[in-house]
């Protein structure tokens, strides 16, 4: 009986890890003309990439998007010879002067939230304000990232930013931020991402 158990254990197979798509820079929301590099981790041979379910002819562990366009938006997945198919990562390419960027849209309680006010073609932004539900939360003369050290339910809401590009006063569109497990009572129309279970949408 002992011999049979040893043989049975020796026949067990270990499933390969699931690939993960990483973004560099890490923001999943882009403006047209931005560059972004997608990396398939862990790196391996014969990397395959998919965009909205269609195979992209790329064998490199990195997929570089130069001067992004709106039609580059969508879901990206990858797989190598030593990994399983990755979960999809959403990329959004927007048209405008200013965009509020985030690493993802849904955060876990206790996580740090980072928001970035980004101008088209990375033009300098001055006198930047960040707003949550139309209330100003931060102002800086020079553009800096808005840090929220630990996410809680009170951080559910609609965010946007505003700043000067030269003499032009430009505002971004709004971005709803959700905290996992919270019902987002502050939002006028709470979405399904507010209610458990929910997962990160940007990674």
What residues does each domain of the chain span?
20-93, 96-194
What pLDDT is attached to residue 57?
74
Residue 175 CA, distance from chain mean position? 12
Average pLDDT, integer, range 125-138:
97
Supply angle C-alpha 165, 166, 168, rounded to 5. Answer: 60
Of the pLDDT bands very low, low, confident and very high (cuts 50, 70, 90), residue 125 is very high
- What is the spatial distance between Cα 191 and Cα 145, in angstroms, rounded to a whole number? 26
Which residues are within 8 A (CB) of 57 and not within 5 positions of it... i.e. 6 or more apart? none
Q: 20-93 and 96-194 share one CATH topology?
A: yes
What pLDDT is attached to residue 12?
55
Average pLDDT, integer, range 160-179:
97
Q: Is the pLDDT of residue 170 over 80?
A: yes
More confident site: 43 or 201: 43
What pLDDT is attached to residue 15?
82
Q: Which of 1-5, 10-14, 162-166, 181-185 has the lowest mean pLDDT?
A: 1-5
Q: Is the pLDDT of residue 6 over 80?
A: no
> Residue 57 gets which letter from DSSP?
-
Q: Which of 59-63, 180-184, 188-192 has the lowest mean pLDDT?
A: 188-192
> Residue 38 gets which letter from DSSP?
E
Q: Is the pLDDT of residue 194 over 70?
A: no
What pLDDT is attached to residue 197?
38
What pLDDT is attached to residue 196?
40
CATH number of 20-93: 2.60.40.10
* CATH T-level assignment (fold) for domain 96-194: Immunoglobulin-like (2.60.40)
Pairing state between β 54-56 and 113-119: unpaired
Q: Which residue do the tokens 């609609």 mark?
A: 158
Task: Report the side by side order of strands in the sheet with 20-24.
Answer: 20-24, 36-41, 62-65
Supply angle C-alpha 55, 61, 62, rounded to 5. Answer: 85
What pLDDT is attached to residue 8?
43
CB 133 within 8 A of CB 168: no
- pTM for the complete prediction? 0.80
Pairing state between β 106-107 and 175-179: parallel
């Amino acid at each position: 009986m002992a011999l049979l158990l040893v043989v049975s254990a020796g026949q067990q197979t270990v499933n390969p890890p699931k690939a993960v798509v990483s973004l560099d820079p890490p923001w999943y929301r882009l403006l047209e003309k931005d560059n972004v590099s997608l990396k398939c981790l862990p790196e391996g041979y014969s990397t395959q990439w998919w965009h909205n379910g269609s195979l992209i002819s790329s064998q490199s562990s990195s997929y570089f998007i130069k001067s992004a366009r709106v039609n580059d938006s969508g879901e990206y997945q990858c797989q190598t010879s030593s990994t399983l198919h990755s979960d999809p990562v959403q990329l959004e390419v927007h048209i405008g002067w200013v965009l509020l960027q985030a690493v993802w849209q849904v955060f876990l309680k206790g996580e740090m939230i980072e928001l970035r006010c980004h101008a088209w073609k990375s033009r300098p932004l001055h006198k930047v304000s960040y707003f949550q539900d139309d209330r100003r939360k931060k102002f800086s003369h020079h553009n800096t990232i808005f840090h929220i050290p630990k996410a809680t339910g009170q951080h559910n809401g609609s965010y946007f930013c505003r700043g000067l590009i030269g003499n032009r006063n430009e505002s971004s569109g709004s971005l709803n931020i959700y905290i996992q497990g919270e019902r987002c009572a502050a939002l006028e129309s709470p979405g399904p991402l507010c209610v458990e279970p929910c997962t990160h949408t940007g990674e």
